[in-house]
Structure 1
Amino acid sequence: MKKNGFKKILVLGSGALKIGEAGEFDYSGSQAIKALKEEQIKVILINPNIATFQTSKFLADEVYFLPIDDYFVEKVIAKEKPDGVLLSFGGQTALNCGLMLQKKGVFKKYRVKILGSPISSIELTENREFFAKHLKSISLPVPPSGSAVNLKEAKRVAKKIGFPLMIRASFALGGQKSGIVKNEKELEEVVKSALAVSPQVLIEKYLHHFKEIEYEVVRDKIGNTITVCNMENLDPLGIHTGDSIVVAPSQTLNNDEYHSLRE
């Protein structure tokens, strides 16, 4: 990275402990800081959680114990003037903050290069409607679905697809405010709750008792990929991973199923 002229990089940290962020992002963020330090790059960290490994004295050069939101992050950028920023090591909070900073033109204003996952990839994966359309465009099967930004739209989509349904909040990790609904009353409750924390919900057909299988894949910028392992949730689809037990490797796939998914 030093060859590219990066002398100082800002890392948005893991923040508060909650399902979907902090534990795993504290670890990955710490490894990112170590890698940057090995390249003799100065690291600026924003992380309001003092009880994380990231904030240890021997890691980042400067640590700001400030909330990870666009107001405070812009203040730090204006003061420190970093060459680049890493958004992918702070969980959902950091991703949403990065999207807001991009929308406000902060990165362009201070000439800060976004490193790692680009804004376009973050927007694609965090906006559930865009992600579902993208999967369809590459011929991957997905359940019938539709998005909504209010209860009226949600009811229209639900009527078209039919119950039972899975409601998912966009721009949220850990299954926050998501849930299974079997009738219109439950639909109203879950959609109202989800829209209180997210601007959009995805409504899709609930795949009752389908298995939930995950593959860990590492890919570099030129397309080389490594399948590290696969995992299987003991509970069926619809029970969030944070409330379930995950076993690696998978236990109930036959050989054909395992290799077809792997490929």
Structure 2
Amino acid sequence: MKIKKILIANRGEIALRIIRACKEMGITSVAIFSEPDLNGLWVRRADEAYPILGDPIKAYLDYERIIDIAKKAGVDAIHPGYGFLSENGDFARACERAGIKFIGPRADDIDLYGDKMASKTAMKKVGMPVLEGTEEPIIDIKEAEKIAKQIGFPVIIKAAFGGGGRGMRIVRSEEEFKDLFEAATSESMKFFGRGEVFIEKYVENPRHIEVQILADTHGNVIHLGIRDCSIQRRHQKVIEIAESPSLSKDTRDKICEVSVNALKKLGYVSAGTVEFLVDENENFYFIEMNTRVQVEHPVSEVVSGVDIIQEMIRVAEGEKLSITQDDVNIRGFAIEFRLNSEDPTKNFMPTTGTIKNLMLPGGIGIRNDNALYEGYKLPTNYDSMIGKLIVYGKDWEDTVNKARRALDELNIGGVVTNIPLHRAVIRDEDFIKGKFTTKYLDEKLEKLDIKNEDIFEKEEAKAKFLKELVDELKKQ
């Protein structure tokens, strides 16, 4: 079935990203928006837009109302983007019942991989290396403590029905297990409505590596190389890289091969990401599968030349992937910097404001994914990410040099952002050498030279000085 009209069940930069893909494919785009998002750039750029009033967060989660809008708008399909409803199997089923294509994996696969224990068991059965740990979600503290002793400390406790670092605790000794287990289950209940957790062996100082997968309904499964997402703060990704400047080619190839083989056996369809922890000896272990397009998908796109959103749409139409594995030629490196409205000099306190003096970098290898414009007032209802800067270079050194230059050009006036953190990281010797793990920011943060500065103000001061110089010369 050829898709002619798509509703984007999301907001912000990912909504605009999907709208752009639709326009290139000649597909009519439909946006939805909460009241605080009335002036969103994606709302302005979409062919049609419909309001969803009420609580701003709940509005984007109310899939019955969204499907009702989709029916009235006469759409063929819905793309969920990332976050919100993107990994909600019930939403995917509701779309299908309404005769609307869900652009993403099958509902049963969303459920399977959304359950960390079930996905771990499924992956293990098809030959994926996994960390030693519990086979089933657990909430009984005595049983949990017994299992932790059997595995051997350190262990990590993770929410069985959540993610993003919530409900997660690292336990290094038997003495601290009880308090940390109770903290993890309590937090899991608060954020996900379920207190169950699972326990597994903790890998010290790992790298966080993931594989971008695309699969169609004809049995074709390909990868677009790996991403190194090791630079994190509180288990939240901050900088993502494709490929990895420090992982050997042999290990990269093995991780990609085992990911493709596993998803072929499991019959996965659409875009997805297989995530691993890699230890200091380059042993790798499956940790989770994400059944959606990732925030960091642009780095895979720029090194492979493949448009992931467009491929997702083709797969939803029942078409074969437009490329085979032999067509995928990974070239160079790409770095994505997540741009957040937060102050890195004040413990990353959330910030807000109205965008002014917006200066976006350009040139070869520079991509800006955001929905910002001068005069746009940032809503305070959502998370702090307001955009992404993606930089591509022919090799690691070229990419780092381009990123340094691009970050020095970038200015988002009117609101304090984490751009100064990125400027400090790109100048750090360990980062330049590709020496980083998931502990990088924990160990570096206090040592990095992070300075809040407005590039526009510096350039204005320079312009003022030059004008005074010209005026002085005129008098002579």
**Same fold per TM (> 0.5)?**
yes
Name the counterpart of 2:130. Answer: 142
The residue identity in structure 2 corresponding to 1:44 is V
Relative to structure 1, the CA distance from residue 70 to residue 202 in structure 2 (aligned partners, 3 Å threshold; closer, same or farther) is: farther
Quote the residue 1:167 is aligned against.
Answer: 157
Partner of 1:196: 190
Instruction: Note the alpha carbon deviations across 1:164-223, whole angstroms, 9 max, x for none.
Output: 221222443422232212322212212221232222423211112233333444455542
Give the Cα separation in 2 of the matches to 1:220 and 1:260. 22
Partners of 1:218 and 1:10 lie apart in 2 by: 22
Report the AA paired with residue 150 of structure 1. I
Larger radius of gyration: 2
SS of the aligned residue for 1:95 comes to coil
Change over 3 Å in CA distance of 1:252–1:59 after alignment to 2: same
Distance 2:111 2:33 in 1: 23
Relative distance call for 1:218 and 1:256 in structure 2 (3 A) is: same
Match of 1:211 among 188, 207, 211: 207
SS of alignment partner, residue 133 of structure 1: helix
> Within 2, Cα distance between the matches of 1:33 and 1:86?
10
The residue number in structure 2 matching 1:17 is: none
User: What SS does the corresponding residue of 1:63 show, helix, strand or coil?
Assistant: strand
Unaligned 5+ segments in structure 2 are 258-476
**Paired amino acid for 1:45:** A
Give distance in 2, aligned partners of 1:207 and 1:110. Answer: 45
Q: 8 Å contact 1:151–1:188 — kept in the other structure?
A: no
Aligned residues: 241
Alpha-carbon separation, structure 2, partners of 1:173 and 1:54: 29
Alignment pair present for 1:125 and 2:113: yes
Aligned to 1:158: 148
CA distance in 2 between partners of 1:44 and 1:120 (Å) = 26
The superposition leaves residues 29-88 of structure 1 with CA deviations (integer Å, 9 ceiling, x where unpaired) of: 32322333444444333343628966331225123345456873312422441433223x
Cα distance in 1 for partners of 2:207, 2:19 equals 36
Letter in 1 for 2:111: E
Q: Distance in 1 between matches of 2:106 and 2:90?
A: 14
Shift of 1:5: 5.3
Q: 1:95/1:151 Cα in 2 relative to 1: closer, same or farther (>3 Å)? A: farther
Alpha-carbon separation, structure 2, partners of 1:164 and 1:55: 46
Which of 18, 25, 28 matches 1:32? 18
Cross-structure match for 2:29: 43
Q: Does structure 2 retain, via aligned residues, the 8 Å contact 1:233–1:246?
A: yes
User: Is it true that 1:56 corresponds to 2:43 in the alignment?
Assistant: yes
2:230 matches 1:233: yes
Residue 278 of structure 2: aligned partner: none
In 2, the alpha carbon distance for the partners of 1:110 and 1:85 equals 11
- After superposition, give the CA deviation of every residue in 1:231-255 in whole Å (9 maximum; x if it has no partner): 26268xx962526x55544233344
- Which segment is superposed worse, 166-175 or 47-56? 47-56
CA distance in 1, matches of 2:245, 2:9: 37
Q: TM-score, normalised by structure 2?
A: 0.43
Does structure 2 conserve the Cα–Cα contact (< 8 Å) formed by 1:85 and 1:112? yes
User: Any idea what SS the aligned residue of 1:10 has?
Assistant: strand
- Residue 184 to residue 41, structure 1, CA distance change in 2 (3 Å): same
Is the CA contact (8 Å cut-off) linking 2:231 and 2:237 kept in structure 1? no
* Residue among 237, 254, 257 paired with 1:242: 237
d(CA) in 1 for partners of 2:184, 2:16: 36
Instruction: Give a deviation string over 1:142-169, Cα, whole Å, max 9, x none.
Output: 1122242534464454354343221222
Q: Which amino acid aligns with 2:202?
A: Y
Distance of 2:38 and 2:205 partners within structure 1: 38
Are the equivalent residues in 2 in contact too, given 1:164–1:181 (CA < 8 A)? yes
- Residues 151 and 70 of structure 1: CA distance in aligned 2, closer, same or farther (over 3 Å): farther
Between the aligned partners of 1:53 and 1:121, the Cα distance in structure 2 is 32
RMSD, aligned α-carbons: 3.5
TM-superposed CA distance for 1:125, in Å, is 1.9
Give me the whole-angstrom Cα distance separating, in 2, the residues matched to 1:32 and 1:179: 36
SS across alignment from 1:204: strand
Q: What is the CA distance between 1:139 and its match in structure 2?
A: 0.7
Q: Partner amino acid for 1:35?
A: A
Q: Distance in 1 between matches of 2:146 and 2:242?
A: 40
For the Cα contact (< 8 Å) 1:149–1:195, is it kept in 2? no
Q: Which residue of 2 aligns with 1:180?
A: 170
Give the letter aligned to residue 256 of structure 1: D
Contact preservation (8 Å) 1:232, 1:251: no
Change (3 A) 1:77 1:254: closer
